[in-house]
Amino acid sequence: MREMRLPLGHGELLELAHKLDTPFYLYDEGAIIENARAFKHHFSWAPGFTNYFAVKACPNPTIIKLLGEEGFGTDCSSLPELRISKACGITGERIMLSSNDTPADEFRAAYEMGAIINLDDITHIAALEKALGTFPKTISFRYNPGPERTGNAIIGNPVEAKYGVTSAQIIDCYKIAKAKGVERFGLHTMVASNELDGSYIVETARMLFNLSVRIKEEAGVRIDFIDMGGGIGIPYKPEDKAMDLGAVSTAMRALYDEIIKGSGLDPLKIFFECGRVITGPYGYLVSEVLHVTSKYKEYVGLDASMADLMRPALYGSYHHITVLGKDKEKADHRYDVTGSLCENNDKFAIDRLLPKVEEGDVVVIHDSGAHGHAMGFNYNAKLRSAEYLLRRDGSVDMIRRAQTYDDYVATLRFDGAPVVV
C-alpha cells in the first residue's frame, strides 16, 4: 500500500489549519509543475505534443497560468472558461473548444479568439456556420465509437453517451468541412474518465490512428492532429496504482510507427486534454472536525460538506482521509465522515477506518485538486471555500478568497431593488 502524500508535515498543516479559516483547499505548486513537466516529457517523441488542460477540472487562474507557462493550452467548454484562458494569457490555437450542446455566442467567442473548435455533432457544422457567418479554416470533430468500444464507470457506455459523431457520420463530417474550405483537420475522442488501465488509452490511440487512415482513404482528408481527450485516472485509494505513462507512451509510439508512418500520415500531432491527472493528486481539502457523534453508527461531522467536494456523494468516489497528528495511531475506529447539508448523502466516506477522532481534529481529504472545488455549489446556502497555493518557496498565497454572504446574495433582486423583465 502506498503512503498517501501530503504537501507538508502534519505539524505544519495543523499550524496552517489553525491560522486559516477551515475548510479550505490547498494546492502544491511545485508538485503540479513537476508533474506537468513529467507528463510532457513522457510524450516528447510525439509530433507537436501538448496537453490542453481541461479548465473545468481546476478553473483557478493562478493554476491555469502556471500550466500555461509550462506550455500547456486549455480545453474549454463555456464562455467563462474561454475568458479565464484569455486572462491567463492563453490565446489562439492554444485553446481548444471541446464543448457540446454549444450556444452560438460561445462558438463566436472561440472563433474570434482564434481557438480550435472541436465539433460535437454533424449538425453543429451548420450551427457553427450560422453563428459565425463564415467557417473556420481549422476544425476538429469529436468521435464516438459507439458499440465498437466499451466505456468505463464514470463516462459510461459510448452508446449511451451524449457526445460525439457516430462511425456512420464521421466521414461525411470531413467531406462537408472540406467542401466548406477547411484546410486543417483534427480528430478528437474521449471514451474514458478516471481510467487507471493504460491499455485503455493505448487502444484509444489505435482507434484514432486507424480512423485517421480511414478518413484519408474515404474522405480524402489528411488529419493534422488527434486529440485523445482527458480521462487518465489517478490512484485515489492507497491500493490503487498510478497509470504507467511511460509504458502507455511506448506502446503508442509503436502504434504510431506502424499505423501512421506506415500509411504516410506522419507527422500527425498528438494532443491530450487531461485535467484530473495533472492537478488532482496535488490538491487537498482541509477541514476541522466539529462533532463526533454516536447514533446507530459512529459519525465524524466536518465543517466541509459535499458543497465543497461533491465527488463522493455524486459518484460514490473514494477520497483518502488523513487525521492530522494521528499518523502513528492505529486506524481501528469505523466512521461515516459527513458534512452538514440536510441531505443524507452528504458523506465524504462511509464505514471508513480512521484513528480515534475527536472534536477539533483537522482532517485532510486527499486528491481533491481536480473536479473538487470546481464542482462546488451553494445548496443550503453553503458558502464556497477559499483556495490557497503552497508556493515552491514554502509561502502560502490565497488564490481565491472564501465566498461571503454578500457574494451569495449579490445576484438577488428583492426588497425594492429594481426587477427588469
Based on DSSP, count helices (H) and strands (E) in the chain, helices before strands. 12, 17
Please name the residue ranges forming H helices in 182-221: 198-219
Nearer to ligand PLP, 8 or 274 (CB): 274
Q: Which of 23, 59, 229, 372 binds ligand PLP (CB under 6 A)?
A: 229
Contact 288, 340 (CB under 8 A): no
- The binding track of 24-63 with respect to ligand PLP, each residue x by CB under 6 A or -, is ------------------------------x-xx------
Q: Smallest distance from the beta carbon of 366 to ligand PLP, in angstroms?
A: 16
Q: Which of 274, 307, 362, 396 binds ligand PLP (CB under 6 A)?
A: 274
Q: Smallest distance from the beta carbon of 396 to ligand PLP, in angstroms?
A: 25
Q: In this chain, which stretch among 224-232, 324-332, 340-348, 375-383 interacts with ligand PLP, using CB under 6 A?
A: 224-232
Residue 259 DSSP one-character state: I
Contact 319, 311 (CB under 8 A): yes
Helix H or strand E encompassing 311: helix 311-315
Q: Which of 275, 301, 312, 339 binds ligand PLP (CB under 6 A)?
A: 275
Question: What 3-state class would DSSP assign to 387?
Answer: strand
Q: Scan for cell 506502424, then name that residue.
A: 258
Q: State how beta strands 73-76 and 50-54 pair.
A: parallel
Asked whether position 276 contacts ligand PLP by CB under 6 A, the answer is yes
Asked whether position 376 contacts ligand PLP by CB under 6 A, the answer is no
Size of the site for ligand PLP (CB under 6 A): 16
Residue 241 DSSP one-character state: -
Q: Which of 28, 29, 75, 121 binds ligand PLP (CB under 6 A)?
A: 75
- The binding track of 334-373 with respect to ligand PLP, each residue x by CB under 6 A or -, is ------------------------------------x---
Buried b (16+ CB within 10 A) or exposed e, 224-236: bbbbbbbbbbbbb
Q: In this chain, which stretch among 108-116, 274-282, 374-382, 406-414 interacts with ligand PLP, using CB under 6 A?
A: 274-282
**How many other C-beta atoms lie within 10 A of the C-beta of residue 300?**
26
Q: Smallest distance from the beta carbon of 239 to ligand PLP, in angstroms?
A: 21
CA distance 134 to 180: 9
Q: State how beta strands 50-54 and 396-400 pair.
A: unpaired
Asked whether position 230 contacts ligand PLP by CB under 6 A, the answer is yes
Q: Which of 68, 231, 339, 372 binds ligand PLP (CB under 6 A)?
A: 231
Residues 170-209 that bind ligand PLP (CB under 6 A): 190, 193
List CB contacts of 318: < 8 A, sequence separation 6 or more.
236, 237, 312, 349
Contact 281, 372 (CB under 8 A): no
Q: Smallest distance from the beta carbon of 370 to ligand PLP, in angstroms?
A: 5
Q: Smallest distance from the beta carbon of 337 to ligand PLP, in angstroms?
A: 24
Asked whether position 307 contacts ligand PLP by CB under 6 A, the answer is no
Contact 283, 294 (CB under 8 A): no
Nearer to ligand PLP, 22 or 118 (CB): 118
- The binding track of 79-108 with respect to ligand PLP, each residue x by CB under 6 A or -, is -------------------x----------
Cell of 139: 476544425
- Report the residue closest to ligand PLP, judged by CB: 230
Q: Smallest distance from the beta carbon of 374 to ligand PLP, in angstroms?
A: 10
Contact 243, 281 (CB under 8 A): no
Q: Smallest distance from the beta carbon of 237 to ligand PLP, in angstroms?
A: 17
Q: Smallest distance from the beta carbon of 376 to ligand PLP, in angstroms?
A: 16
- Beta-bridge partners for 152: 156
Q: Smallest distance from the beta carbon of 302 to ligand PLP, in angstroms?
A: 25
Asked whether position 124 contacts ligand PLP by CB under 6 A, the answer is no
- Exposed / middle / buried, residue 383 (Cβ in 10 Å: 0-12, 13-18, 19+): middle
Long-range contacts of 124-127 (CB under 8 A, 24+ apart): 125/173, 125/176, 125/177, 125/180, 127/102
Nearer to ligand PLP, 77 or 305 (CB): 77
CA distance 302 to 299: 10
Please name the residue ranges forming H helices in 43-149: 61-69, 79-87, 104-112, 124-132
Q: Smallest distance from the beta carbon of 213 to ligand PLP, in angstroms?
A: 24
Q: Smallest distance from the beta carbon of 140 to ligand PLP, in angstroms?
A: 11
Q: State how beta strands 283-294 and 24-28 pair.
A: antiparallel
Binding residues for ligand PLP, per CB under 6 A? 54, 56-57, 75, 98, 190, 193, 229-232, 273-276, 370
